[in-house]
Amino acid sequence: MAELMEYSYLLDEADKCEDPYLRLVYASSWAISVYYAYQRTWKPFNPILGETYEMANHGGITFISEQVSHHPPMSAGHAENEHFTYDVTSKLKTKFLGNSLDVYPVGRTRVTLKKDGVVLDLVPPPTKVNNLIFGRTWVDSPGEMIMSNLTTGDKVVLYFQPCGWFGAGRYEVDGYVYNAEEEPKILMTGKWNESLSYQPCDLEGEPLQGTELKEVWHVADAPKNDKFQYTYFAHKLNSFDTAPKKLLASDSRLRPDRYALEKGDLSKAGAEKSSLEERQRAEKRTREAKGHQFTPRWFDLTDEVTTTPWGDLEIYRYNGKYTEHRATVDSSDSTNEADITSIEFSPWQYGNLSTE
């Protein structure tokens, strides 16, 4: 979830931009940028209930995300700097189709630009994972991405071309920024794994005379032949370089299975993953025996249920407590801080719990 913040400067530019249509060019380019990571085909670790991820030291952003539900798997995230706030509730819905998997993004992503209070809503396309069992696994996201300005009614509609025979059309994205009357104002074109460009257009969607195509986003350099298919920024996210002072013990970086995988010890990673999942099952049994409910720490479940193209979604709202927590930690002048790497991963609700 934090990987989406790599190109957060695009949201900064959207906030500073006076042109309402160019603002959507910047914001939608930010939303497209994370698709570069969708080329990764490794199965991710499932977050543990209560697991968190914090990020600092990038673009003046404070970022917190939390696994708020295990069945169904749901995550919530909040990021903020001087230009924008970002709020997301994510619940993936999947459909197994033999040798492929359809992934439906049943979620809600909202960005608020602070200067004018503009609220942007994002509906991404579904994703298809191909050749799960036979052949080389690859990912495609055919369909429309729609980003709407809920304040003015303007919107951008970008169409992800489906991959054809021999890779024809793969990665290609084309579309327009429309005003509230649904008249095209700016055309956008590019590839989601390379770059995006824009150009003012007429009511027919044709480029305006005297204007030229301008690049708005270009993918950052990535390590050559990286075995994790990470960008430099993704590697930084997994490191403690982006960790704040006094990291929460529930942070993803501290997972022993993740750390073992990073060190190349697949056997230990598998054993640690099994141990964490068994501990999670033991917590569930204890919670049910006590008649307790799991309550997220940094997000509150609201009464709001929003409709998405792939089903209804219960909305979790950032409760502001993390901002208070960070202010307290950052203002403390403790000089004897423990080694951050020695913190034991602990998203647990009930202290030491036997898993026998």
Q: Tens-of-pLDDT digits for all 356 residues of the chain?
A: 899 999 999 999 999 999 999 999 999 999 999 888 777 777 778 899 999 999 998 999 999 999 999 988 999 999 999 999 999 999 888 888 888 888 877 889 999 999 999 999 998 888 887 777 777 776 777 789 999 999 999 999 999 888 777 666 678 999 999 999 999 999 999 999 899 999 999 999 999 999 999 999 999 988 998 888 888 999 999 999 999 989 999 999 999 999 999 999 999 999 999 999 999 999 999 999 999 999 999 999 999 998 888 889 999 999 999 999 999 998 887 655 667 878 999 999 886 554 43
Domain assignment present for residue 13? The answer is: yes
Kindly tell me the burial class for residue 240, based on how many C-beta atoms sit within 10 Å of its own C-beta (0-12, 13-18, 19 or more).
middle
Q: Is 326 inside a domain boundary?
A: no
For residue 257, tell me if it sits in a domain: no
Domain that holds residue 132: 2-242
Return contacts of 102-106, CB within 8 angstroms, 24+ apart. 102/126, 102/127, 102/128, 103/127, 103/128, 103/129, 104/309, 104/310, 104/311, 105/308, 105/310, 106/308, 106/310, 106/311, 106/313
In a domain, 277, yes or no: no
Q: Is residue 185 part of a domain?
A: yes
- Read off the pTM: 0.91
* CATH code, domain with 157: 2.40.160.120
* pLDDT tens figures, 242-292: 999 899 999 999 999 999 999 999 999 999 999 999 999 999 999 999 999
Q: Is 48 inside any structural domain?
A: yes
Residue 256: inside a domain, yes or no? Answer: no
Counted domains in the chain: 1
